[in-house]
């Protein structure tokens, strides 16, 4: 009898297995059926080996066994082939290429033979470049290559004829150190980037490339050619998924490196007294300038990180900067007066600032420098000094392999103490273990002479840890009296211009013995570098290294770092702009300029992001985008607060003179209205859709307050009250599930509704102080309407029949499970409190996501100080004397009797006493824009 399941259906070429015919046509079932079919071994019945009279037929028996043995061998081979993967599938994701399945050369060398054999077995046609029809673009490239080769041949021929005419063509070239002509840098003038090569000149008309642009352009998404960022072509994000990989490399194993050469460097030179006066004018705190604790910073062995501000006017804060002093030369001779000599000696400092705030800081520095006596010289070093930033447990190891200090020479008979200290840090896995903001300056050799890099072996002696602890305790670089070479412009340009070509490097490698690196030559450049080990103010996260070096020397060091084989496996990962922001977010630190909207640079970033979010919102059809005007926020509150796709600080701070927020929003976005509409805190869809018009000309309505000043305002009860324009940056940690996103609204606990405040305080108390239950403690079910539903909604066994499970699902939708009252309320519960009113809005979230380090949602935001600082007694009396303008409605839960109000006040006081005044003051409610659910969070200054 024939099995009907093996009969091929119409349109099928082969019979389908029984398991496949009953299963759905999914990928998983297809693979399973393929494996079952490959493992099936055909057999032959033993009756075939018997004659008619029942005797054994030897020949038939042998043939039957032969058939079974062949079937078993074929099944073993088929099973092996079905379970194994192809050669191009064995390559890691970051090494895979689209054409690897039919081009053997796209597969790593160790897998090419296997890939060629598999292609031959599957009759896969190989891709041969000479038979490939050239496309229009490829044809243009081939013509360009042909033309360049002809030009090179002609130039080579002319050089050979010139050497023959001079008669020294047969003489070998001598190793002569060329004299480098150094042009003086224009003082107090903005510098221009060096003219790029001819073939790249057209692509850099309105922007500049980073030294590692070609490396990043092949591996990352860059800024649009016609829309550069800060006048640079900056990598935004890697082409591969790297969110979790960046987290692991930056905190657990490996390291992440960024080419931060777009950061601007300003050089200032002058007498020390004038430099200190300039720093005072920029708002550097007096403690850093004159205190004994910062003497090491002024001596040049430490770096300083802080805020600078304008000197005149409103004295707005500009940006965070890193300031490094050059080490002062040795003590004066016996014939010189020490005090006079030190005062007359000029010193230099570097100020490293973000490019978005460079022009503002440059203008302010130039203005203050002209006021100093003796005068101060200001230099623009943006295209002379580049920087590389590294973080992660393997960052020190990768830098040790790339930066090898120059050995003793005739010019440097003694080894620098910084270089000796640097070579002894092989066991350091976290730069934060070093002295805070420690500075190391020395000269290194060309890393291309030691390429490909080799893994640095850690010290194997038992006393290596003790020696490292001794170095960290004593820290010999503090006693160094030799200036860092990177502050000398002659040393920087000499190292850049003496860099040999890659062809010369390869020639020297070929002359060296196999397995050995080329020996040092007197013509090798000495690259001046400056290393700064920074530490996060939050205890725990990884520290970071910042490497200063000449602009043209960035690329050789970068390639050595990227290709270094870490001792823990793998290579360092490169980071882009988004990875830089991710690492700062996971460390609980704000990112400049995105998380500082109160600065001019941060406000410009906010307007740019606002326009992009608004354009993305406009692209969506009306049925698939959020309708801001119809958002239900609980009870009678309807409509989003302010512009939904923006951090609407103008609405929060009440800076618009128009009484109607809707009319004010139209004035902001450049529209004109002639009809008056009823007051509504929500902006309609038409206003949000045109929010990008005229957005670039909006003035900054807020002022940033740094951490130290904001902490003083909150800690001192007798403080000067902040203005309504002052905001500060905070870190938010959710107390429950979920994670906030950008533009989320931040509310304080309700102040006008005692009932709503009680609900939020009770929810916070249940989350922070959950009741302790034992096994014998029953769950309180007094508030439940029925317990029979929960029994019915109990989980059914998996082997239950399909109709019964369908009935169970329908019943669960109609009768939701009733939760116990001893746990915290969850969103969706009717008793979950609604969001506070618009008058309790205190700020917005600028960066929000799920924090892989904390394992919960967190965010970075900004809040208005005037809404969180407790009012003074005089202000409280004025508020009590002012008549209330609130509209009374029937649903207003603030209308209570004297007895109810007294009981509610006692309940609120009891909850606040239980949690503490400090905890209650730091609680807030976070709600995503376009959502109706608020979540409790705790904020702290950062």
pLDDT of residue 657: 37
Comparing CA positions, the residue from 573, 563, 236 lying closest to residue 390 is: 573
* Its pTM surpasses 0.75: yes
pLDDT of residue 344: 55
Q: Is pLDDT of 173 > 80?
A: no
DSSP letter at 838 equals: G
Choice between 98 and 936, residue whose per-residue pLDDT is larger = 936
Choice between 388 and 664, residue whose per-residue pLDDT is larger = 388
pLDDT in tens, 622-646: 889 999 988 888 777 888 998 888 9
Q: Is pLDDT of 79 > 50?
A: yes
- The 3-state secondary structure of 411-456 reads CCCCCCHHHHHHHCCCCCCCHHHCCCCEEEEEEECCHHHHCCCCCC
Choice between 515 and 683, residue whose per-residue pLDDT is larger = 515
Length of the chain: 942
Provide the pLDDT confidence category of residue 779 given band limits of 50, 70 and 90: very low
- d(CA 821, CA 833) in angstroms, rounded, equals 15
Give the percent of the chain with pLDDT over 70: 77
**176-190, 638-652, 728-742, range with the lowest pLDDT:** 176-190
- d(CA 603, CA 612) in angstroms, rounded, equals 14
Provide the pLDDT confidence category of residue 22 given band limits of 50, 70 and 90: very low
Mean pLDDT of 860-883: 70
Q: How far is the CA of 863 from the CAs of 241, 452, 512, 803, 835, in angstroms?
A: 33, 51, 63, 55, 17
Q: Is pLDDT of 424 > 60?
A: yes
pLDDT of residue 671: 34
pLDDT of residue 408: 65
Choice between 195 and 415, residue whose per-residue pLDDT is larger = 195
Provide the pLDDT confidence category of residue 368 given band limits of 50, 70 and 90: very high
pLDDT of residue 673: 33
- d(CA 351, CA 295) in angstroms, rounded, equals 18
Comparing CA positions, the residue from 79, 67, 90, 85 lying closest to residue 40 is: 79
Burial 493-518 (b: 16+ CB within 10 A, else e): bbbbebbbeeeebeebeeeeeeeeeb
Q: Is pLDDT of 333 > 50?
A: no
CA 630 vs. chain centroid, Å, equals 35
**217-231, 748-762, 783-797, 887-901, range with the lowest pLDDT:** 783-797
Choice between 444 and 697, residue whose per-residue pLDDT is larger = 444
pLDDT of residue 688: 46
**94-103, 337-346, 797-806, range with the lowest pLDDT:** 337-346
238, 577 Cβ separation under 8 angstroms: no
Q: Is pLDDT of 484 > 70?
A: yes
Q: Is pLDDT of 696 > 80?
A: no
Mean pLDDT of 347-364: 95
Q: Is pLDDT of 690 > 50?
A: no
520, 445 Cβ separation under 8 angstroms: yes
Q: Is pLDDT of 740 > 80?
A: yes
Q: C-alpha angle 856/861/867, rounded to 5°? A: 120
Q: Is pLDDT of 783 > 50?
A: no
pLDDT of residue 130: 67
Give the percent of the chain with pLDDT over 90: 45
Most confident of 776-780, 855-859, 883-887: 855-859
pLDDT in tens, 535-589: 887 766 789 999 999 999 999 999 999 999 999 988 999 999 999 999 999 999 9
pLDDT in tens, 801-833: 667 767 777 766 666 554 444 578 888 888 899
pLDDT of residue 814: 66
Q: Is pLDDT of 318 > 90?
A: yes
Provide the pLDDT confidence category of residue 383 given band limits of 50, 70 and 90: very high
Alpha helices (H) along 863-933: 873-881, 898-915, 917-921
pLDDT of residue 25: 52
pLDDT of residue 178: 58
- d(CA 117, CA 103) in angstroms, rounded, equals 12
- First-to-last alpha carbon distance for the chain, in angstroms, is 80
**10-19, 706-715, 897-906, range with the lowest pLDDT:** 10-19
């Amino acid at each position: 009898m024939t099995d009907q399941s093996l009969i091929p259906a119409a349109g099928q070429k082969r019979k389908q297995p029984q398991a496949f015919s009953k299963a759905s046509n999914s990928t998983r079932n297809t693979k399973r059926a393929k494996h079952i079919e490959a493992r099936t071994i055909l057999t032959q019945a033993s009756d075939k080996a018997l004659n008619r009279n029942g005797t054994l037929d030897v020949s038939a028996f042998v043939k039957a066994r032969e058939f079974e043995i062949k079937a078993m061998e074929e099944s073993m081979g088929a099973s092996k082939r079905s379970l194994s993967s192809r050669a191009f599938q064995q390559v890691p994701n970051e090494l895979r290429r689209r054409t690897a399945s039919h081009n053997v050369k796209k597969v790593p060398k160790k897998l090419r033979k296997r890939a060629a054999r598999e292609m031959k077995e599957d009759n896969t046609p190989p891709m041969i470049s000479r038979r490939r029809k050239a496309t229009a673009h490829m044809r243009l490239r081939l013509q360009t290559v042909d033309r360049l080769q002809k030009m090179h041949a002609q130039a080579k021929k002319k050089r050979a004829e010139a050497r023959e005419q001079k008669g020294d063509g047969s003489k070998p070239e001598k190793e002569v150190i060329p004299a480098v002509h150094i042009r003086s840098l224009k003082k107090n003038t903005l510098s221009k980037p060096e003219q790029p090569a001819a073939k790249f000149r057209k692509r850099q008309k309105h922007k500049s490339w980073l030294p590692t642009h070609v490396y990043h352009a092949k591996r990352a998404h860059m800024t649009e050619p016609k829309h550069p960022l800060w006048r640079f072509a900056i990598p935004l994000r890697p082409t591969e998924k790297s969110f979790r990989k960046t987290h692991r490399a930056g905190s657990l194993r490996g390291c992440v490196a960024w080419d931060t050469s777009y950061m601007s460097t300003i050089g200032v030179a002058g007498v020390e007294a004038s430099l200190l006066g300039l720093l005072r004018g920029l708002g550097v705190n007096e403690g850093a300038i004159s205190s004994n604790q910062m003497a090491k910073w002024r001596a040049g062995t430490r770096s300083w990180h802080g805020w600078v501000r304008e000197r005149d006017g409103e004295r707005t804060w500009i940006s965070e900067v890193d300031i490094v002093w050059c080490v002062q030369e040795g003590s004066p001779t016996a014939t010189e007066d020490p005090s006079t000599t030190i005062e007359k000696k000029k010193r230099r400092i570097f100020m490293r600032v973000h490019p978005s705030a460079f022009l503002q800081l440059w203008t302010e520095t130039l203005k203050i420098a002209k006021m100093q006596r003796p005068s101060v010289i200001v230099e623009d070093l943006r295209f002379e000094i580049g920087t590389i930033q590294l973080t992660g447990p393997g960052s020190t190891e990768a830098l040790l392999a790339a930066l090898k200090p120059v050995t003793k020479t005739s010019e440097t008979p003694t080894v620098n103490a910084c270089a000796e200290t640097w070579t002894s840090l092989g066991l350091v896995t976290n730069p934060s273990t070093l002295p805070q903001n420690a500075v190391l300056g020395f000269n290194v050799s060309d890393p291309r002479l030691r390429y490909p890099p080799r893994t640095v072996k850690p010290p194997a002696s038992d006393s290596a840890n003790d020696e490292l602890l001794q170095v960290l305790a004593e820290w010999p670089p503090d006693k160094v009296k030799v200036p860092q070479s990177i502050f000398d412009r002659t040393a920087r340009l000499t190292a850049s211009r003496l860099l040999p070509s890659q062809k010369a490097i390869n020639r020297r490698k070929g002359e060296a013995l196999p397995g050995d690196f080329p020996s040092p030559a007197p013509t090798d450049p000495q690259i001046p570098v400056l290393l700064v080990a920074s530490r996060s103010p939050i205890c725990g996260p990884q520290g970071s290294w910042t490497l200063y070096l000449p602009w043209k020397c960035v690329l050789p060091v970068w390639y050595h770092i990227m290709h270094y084989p870490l001792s823990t496996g793998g290579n360092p990962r490169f980071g882009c702009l988004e990875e830089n922001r991710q690492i700062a977010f996971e460390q609980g630190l704000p990112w400049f300029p995105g998380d500082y909207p109160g600065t001019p640079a941060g406000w410009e970033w906010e307007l740019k992001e606002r326009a992009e979010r608004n354009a993305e919102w406009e692209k969506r059809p009306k049925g698939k985008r959020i309708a801001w005007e119809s958002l239900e926020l609980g009870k009678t509150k309807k409509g989003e607060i302010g512009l939904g796709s923006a951090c609407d600080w103008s609405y929060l701070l009440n800076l618009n003179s128009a009484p109607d927020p809707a009319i004010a929003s139209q004035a902001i976005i450049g529209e004109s209205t002639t009809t008056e509409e009823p007051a509504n805190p929500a902006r309609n869809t038409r206003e949000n859709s045109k929010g990008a018009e005229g957005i670039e000309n909006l003035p900054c309505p807020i002022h940033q307050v740094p951490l130290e000043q904001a902490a003083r305002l909150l800690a001192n009860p007798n403080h000067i009250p902040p203005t309504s324009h002052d905001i500060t940056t905070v870190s938010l940690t959710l107390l429950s599930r979920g994670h906030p996103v950008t533009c989320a609204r931040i509310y304080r606990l309700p102040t006008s509704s005692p009932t709503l405040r009680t609900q939020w305080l009770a929810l916070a108390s249940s989350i922070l102080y959950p009741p302790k239950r034992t096994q014998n403690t029953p769950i309180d079910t007094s508030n439940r309407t029925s317990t029979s539903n929960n029994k019915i909604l109990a989980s059914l066994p998996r082997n239950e029949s399909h109709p019964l499970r369908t009935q169970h699902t329908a019943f669960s939708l109609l009768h939701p499970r009733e939760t116990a009252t001893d746990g915290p309320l969850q969103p969706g519960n009717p008793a979950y409190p609604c969001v506070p009113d618009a008058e309790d809005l205190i700020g917005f979230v600028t960066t929000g996501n799920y924090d892989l380090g904390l394992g919960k949602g967190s965010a970075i935001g900004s809040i208005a100080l005037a809404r969180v600082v407790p009012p003074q007694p005089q202000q409280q009396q004025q508020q009590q004397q002012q008549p209330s303008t609130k509209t009374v409605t029937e649903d207003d839960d603030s209308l209570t009797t004297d007895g109810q109000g007294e009981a509610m006040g006692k309940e609120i006081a009891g909850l606040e006493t239980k949690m503490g005044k400090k905890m209650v003051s730091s609680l807030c409610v976070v709600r995503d824009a376009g959502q109706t659910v608020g979540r409790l969070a705790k904020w702290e200054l950062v």
